[in-house]
Amino acid sequence: MRRHAIHKAITTVLLLILTGLAGVVPGLADPPVEPGGQSIRLVALGDLIYHMPIVKWAKHCGGDKYDFRPIFGAIKPWLEEADFSVAVLETVLGGEADRGFTGYPMFNTPDEAVDALQWAGVDLVFTAHNHALDRGEKGVLRTIGVLDAKQMLHVGMNASPDPAARVRIVNIKGITLAFLAYTTATNGIPTPKGKPWLVNSFAHDLVREDIRTARSLGADGIVCALHAGAEYRREPDDEQRAAVRFLLDNGVDIVLGSHPHAVQPIAFATLPGFGGDGPPRVGFVAYSLGNCLSNQQWRYSDCGLTVALTVGKRPGGFGYHDSAG
């Protein structure tokens, strides 16, 4: 990945280590955290897609209710070891009264799906995706209400036009991360007239504003979920590459891609320091993490990639590693 120019001068820096790749990918090494530095373990899951066979199975497990917890039993111990875990909630929580629970092509999932994610150890869900408007404005607002009531952190849908609502700031063991989320499509369903803010759509001006907001709120680093690309492709397309370049150029540190429903490459980018004259920093990109949960059973869509990153802040400057080439 080419080097990128940073146009916004900011003062905090991050180091990123993809856990487990050092010693496997040529040229990668784990830079030590200097004395006084801080680090956390961030885990990212791919798309959570609640097709109806999954919903019916949860009903079978739960009796009078829906119980999705057994689905995540195998990964629960691993998620609990993380300091913070994120996933893409690719559905809406519109309630059974709104045309019942449905899967593809217009998703609407029981609220208990959130209970299972919290039980497993997921701390934040990204809600900007192509199915965000499957139940219209009512579905968006109810999804937000359910997540808030259950105290599940989220970003990507908004109940108001307040720009600060588009940025989720989280302090994790002394490291302040900002989480952003954008989608490039909503399956042709337009946002209600005069309410484009309901779902975060990828747009350059919006992204720049959100990054400025994140830094003004004290973010040490920025994690962005990007819902983009062509479905079922194993390589990123030009749209994804351009969007990722834009995000990194403007100050995003970690890009977590979704939507293709197949695993796509991961990459590191060595970036110039903030303001153009500081120590270099590392950007991390997962073009698509694939599916964490779905009923897509064909090759390459029946699996997903879970990424564990060690994210650190250190007072003496920026430590980084790079891949060969």
Segments making up each domain of the chain, as ranges: 15-313
Q: How many Å apart are CA 225 and CA 255, to the nearest integer? A: 6
Q: Where is average pLDDT lowest: 4-13, 199-208, 269-278?
A: 4-13
Helix (H, G, I), strand (E, B) or coil at 243: helix
Of 3-12, 275-284, 303-312, the one with minimum mean pLDDT is: 3-12
The answer to whether residue 157 scores a pLDDT higher than 90 is: yes
CATH code of domain 15-313: 3.60.21
* pLDDT, tens digit, 9 for 90 and up, residues 22-65: 322 333 334 444 445 689 999 999 999 999 999 999 999 888 89
d(CA 226, CA 201): 10
**134 close to 92: Cβ distance less than 8 angstroms:** yes
Q: What is the tens place of the pLDDT at every residue in 53-106?
A: 999 999 998 888 999 999 999 999 999 999 999 999 999 999 999 889 999 999
Rounded distance between C-alpha atoms, residue 133 and residue 106, angstroms: 9
DSSP structure class, residue 164: G
- Which letter does DSSP use for residue 192 in this model? P
Helices (DSSP H) in 48-200: which residue ranges? 52-62, 76-81, 112-120, 136-149
